[in-house]
Structures are given as structure tokens and as C-alpha cells.
Amino acid sequence: MPIVTAPRLAIIVVAAGSGTRLGREEPKAFVEVRGQTILERCLHGVLDSIEPAQIVVVAPASHLATATRIAQRVAGPASDALSVVAGGASRQTSVAAGLAALGAEVDTVLVHDAARALTPPALIDRVVRAVRSSGTGVIPALPVSDTIKRVDGETVLETVDRSELVHVQTPQGFPRAELDAAYAAAAAEHTDDAALFSAAGGRVITVEGEARAFKITTPWDLRRAENVLGVSTGIRTGVGIDVHAYDEGSPMWLGGLYWPDEPGLAGHSDGDALIHAICDALLSAAGLGDLGTRFGSSATEYADARSEVFLRETLALVDGAGYAVGNVAVQVVANRPRLTGRRVEIETRLTQLLGAPVSVSATTADGLGLSGRGEGLMAIATALITASA
Ligand code: CTP
Ligand code: MG
């Protein structure tokens, strides 16, 4: 989205709810889905839409600074057209707070739930186009696929004709002046902006919604979002590389084994580059970042840790993200040590630790580069993981 100083479009992203039904300690918009907050994922979709827009994030008063940091990180240089304001006790008051922050030039407003974290930008574009061409309120709608019954307690009264029903999503778009007037006139709480707009006499039409724009409400929805973000086959690969200089003064640990007659490797922990590369490959496959961001190179509790500790904790993270390890392959590029004699020993040890096949190979670098010149050792690993659920 290009930067403009006075956009005609505004998108209000409401993120001020507490997420009672999700049941997490932090407000819902700040819960992570595969390593990125719901708010951040939603804003990526918003910023990837076509038309330049003023973006107003409505956040809980307790989280204004965090929301601002997230918004600026996503928007980069476009953050000029972005502001963060505090929301209210109901969604409706939160939207009203967003409306109060709009620039004078804005003639079209979209209101969007942050909780619809995976909304495709194309849906935003579709709603904007429809508001401009119709001059009415516009909401995304999808057909109802379940049979719907009217009930009184446990008793079924009748089957409702579902062809007359749709379920609706956000973003919901409106001509700005009419939406402002509708909010000013609102006498009751409405469950969405279109209801409030209709109550004030406004006309609302539908455009086709998107399955991916579903709202994350319950823990099950969060799981669904995580699964949608995984590849559809449930199989993922990752890559990891680690390089360490030789250090004559340190013991050599490589592949979880002690090498008595070899110079050691410099670095945090025991310098076991082979295991570090495997950890990075596993984290990479699960979309969980890397060793540095997960364990921190300055974390003192790991300063002298054996690298198996990282491997175990990495495995727990991957498992926690819902994956099982398929296999791991790792290649060492180094003049020393010569792996041939102990290759099977390393494979056996690491296969036991990971509970999945690990294959190890080695090569030299033909005298070139840091490993060729004998300055250090490099390990390159790939990992394949599968969704365990
Ligand atoms: N919202 C808001 N201000 C409120 C309540 C809700 O900005 N006072 C926002 C939420 O952050 C969310 C969207 O409105 O992005 C849709 O609301 P909902 O899914 O109901 O979120 P919560 O109210 O946070 O969740 P719950 O109802 O489970 O508490
Ligand atoms: Mg709510």
C-alpha cells in the first residue's frame, strides 16, 4: 500500500476486546498464532490491500504501547497513516473511538475485527469497491451450510429455510458521513456495524465473504488458524546452518559425542555446531524462529550447557506446536574431525534423542573458505516434520 498524506479510505481495526471466550491471560489480539500476534497478522492483510488508507487500531488502554509497536513494525514507512487509540467496554464504543480519530478527507470507512487474523487482502479490496460503486453499506457474507432449527429450550420448533440466511464477516464498509451519523444516533448496542447502520435507516448489501476471514473466538478457532497456516499436506521442511571457529583450548563436542584428540569449537554452550544446525532446522520447519531468538546467545543458564539440552527443548517446542519429527539430515563441512569412523555412533545417539531418523554425512571444502582453510567447522541440516494432530 503506497503512502499518501490524506487518504480517502480509512480502515478501523478493532482490537480492544479481552477475548473472554479464548480464555488466555493476554487480550485476544495479542495472542500468537504460529509466532505472530493476531493483531500483527490482521494488519499484514490490511496493509496488503490495494487502496492507500488511514489505519486506526483500537487497542485496550493497557496495551497501547504494545499495539503501537506491532503496528509500526508491520507498516514500516507507511506508519504515518496509522494511529492507535484506546477502545471502550463494548465493541460499539471501540468502533466509536476509532471513528473519532479519522482524518477530514476520509469518505469511506471499513470496520474490521482484528480477531479475523487471516482475512485475505482481496476481501478488503472487494468491500471497498462495492461501497464506492453502490454508495451503501457493504458486508461480506457466506451461505449457511448447516441446517438451522428454531428451538425453545430443548424442544425443536421448526426448521428455518437456510437459503434465506447468510453468516456475515468483517470488514464491513460504509460511506463515512452516514456511518458517523448512524453512530451519533445509536440508542442501543448492536452486534455488528451493519445492524447499527440499518437501525439508522441505511441500506446494506452483501458481497461474497471468504472462509479464511473466520473470527478467532474459541481455542478451537485458534487451532484452526494454526492449521490453516501450516501447509495443506501437513508436511513442512526446514533448514539450519551453524558455523564455529576451532578453539584449541576447548574440548570438542560434535554430534553429542566427545572427541578427545580434536581441537574444540568456540562459542556459547559446548559449541556443538552439528546439533545447533539440527535445532535451527527443526525450529525453521515449525515456523518457530531460530536458536538465537528462542534461547538467546546471552542467556546465562545456557552458557555452558551441553547442546543436547537445546535439542531436547527444541523438540518440546516443535511438539508443543503440534508437529512430530519425520527425519533430519545433517552434513558437516570441515577438515577435522574426520567423521567416517564415528558417523554411525552419531546417528545412533541423535536418532535416540530425537525419536526420529537422523542421517549424518561429511565433506571437506576443497581448501576453500573458512572450513577449507581449517579455521572452523560448518554444519548444514534439513528437517522434515508432520502435523501430529
Ligand atoms: N472488540 C473491541 N472492543 C471491545 C470488544 C471487542 O475492540 N470492547 C473487538 C475485539 O478485539 C475483536 C472484535 O471486536 O477483534 C470482535 O469481538 P470478539 O470476537 O467478541 O472479541 P472479544 O470481545 O475480545 O472476545 P470475547 O467476546 O470472547 O470476550
Ligand atoms: Mg466480544
Q: What is the pLDDT of residues 17-27, one digit of tens each?
A: 999 999 999 99
Q: How far apart are CA 182 and CA 180, in angstroms?
A: 5
In this structure, the residue with its CA closest to atom 6 of ligand 1 is 17
11-20, 238-247, 296-305, 370-379: segment of lowest average pLDDT = 296-305
Report if pTM > 0.75. no
Query: How far does the centroid of ligand 1 lie from the alpha carbon of residue 313, in Å?
Result: 34
Ligand 1 site-directed mutation target among 57, 91, 93, 169, most atoms within 8 Å of CB: 91
- Ligand 1 contacts (CB < 6 A) are 14-21, 28-29, 58, 87-91, 94, 113-115, 215, 217
Which ligand minimizes its atom distance to the CA of 30? 1
Q: Quick one: pLDDT at residue 151?
A: 96
Q: How far apart are CA 359 and CA 351, in angstroms?
A: 8
Q: How far apart are CA 160 and CA 273, in angstroms?
A: 64
Ligand 1 site-directed mutation target among 18, 41, 118, most atoms within 8 Å of CB: 18
Q: In terms of DSSP bridges, do strands 155-160 and 235-247 run parallel, antiparallel, or are they unpaired? A: unpaired
Is 273 a residue whose pLDDT tops 90? Answer: yes
Residue 78's pLDDT band (cuts 50, 70, 90)? confident
383 near 237, Cβ under 8 Å? yes
Q: How would you class 209 by CB atoms within 10 Å of its CB: exposed for 0-12, middle for 13-18, buried for 19 or more?
A: buried
Q: Quick one: pLDDT at residue 237?
A: 95
CATH number of 9-231: 3.90.550.10
Which ligand minimizes its atom distance to the CA of 29? 1
Q: How far apart are CA 119 and CA 48, in angstroms?
A: 11
Q: Quick one: pLDDT at residue 227?
A: 86
Query: How far does the centroid of ligand 2 lie from the alpha carbon of residue 98, in Å?
Result: 17
Q: Is it true that 9-231 and 235-387 share their CATH fold?
A: no
Q: Which residue has the higher pLDDT, 193 or 80?
A: 193
Is 388 a residue whose pLDDT tops 80? Answer: no
Q: For the chain, what are the domain ranges?
A: 9-231, 235-387
Average pLDDT over residues 12-41: 96
Q: How far apart are CA 150 and CA 212, in angstroms?
A: 28
Distances (CA, A) of 253 to 45, 312, 319: 45, 17, 26
Average pLDDT over residues 80-94: 95
Top CATH class of 235-387 equals: alpha beta
Residue 180's pLDDT band (cuts 50, 70, 90)? very high
Residue 4's pLDDT band (cuts 50, 70, 90)? low
Residue 317's pLDDT band (cuts 50, 70, 90)? very high
3-state secondary structure 100-113: CCCCCCCCEEEEEE
Residue 295's pLDDT band (cuts 50, 70, 90)? confident
CA-114 nearest atom, ligand 1: 15
Model confidence pLDDT, tens digit, residues 201-225: 999 999 999 999 999 999 999 999 9
Q: How far apart are CA 246 and CA 274, in angstroms?
A: 14
Query: How far does the centroid of ligand 2 lie from the alpha carbon of residue 357, in Å?
Result: 46
Is 305 a residue whose pLDDT tops 90? Answer: no
Model confidence pLDDT, tens digit, residues 280-293: 999 999 999 998 88
In this structure, the residue with its CA closest to atom 25 of ligand 1 is 19
Query: How far does the centroid of ligand 2 lie from the alpha carbon of residue 223, in Å?
Result: 19
Q: In terms of DSSP bridges, do strands 358-363 and 264-265 run parallel, antiparallel, or are they unpaired? A: unpaired
Q: Quick one: pLDDT at residue 322?
A: 84
Residue 228's pLDDT band (cuts 50, 70, 90)? confident
